[in-house]
Amino acid sequence: MTKITNPDVSGIDLEKQEVVTEADVEIVEKRNIRQNLLLARKKQLQRKKRGYGKLPSSLRR
């Protein structure tokens, strides 16, 4: 598989492709933001859980 670094190299149907890719990119970005938030929450919860294991029960929040 060869990755195309320059989109300008292929001058065939550029206008049609741009319209489609712009809409797709917006959807993908929204998904990525949601995924990042979910992953961040999971990581934070795991950190808290790990920390609680080391503390005595009286100091748990």
**In the prediction, which pLDDT does 33 show?**
83
Q: Give the model confidence (pLDDT) of 3-61 as tens digits.
A: 656 555 555 554 555 555 555 656 666 668 888 888 888 888 877 666 655 666 666 65
**In the prediction, which pLDDT does 20 show?**
52
Decide if 11 contacts 5 (C-beta within 8 A): no
Sign of CA dihedral 36, 41, 46, 48: positive
**In the prediction, which pLDDT does 9 show?**
55
Dihedral, CA of residue 13, residue 19, residue 20 and residue 26, to nearest 10: 150
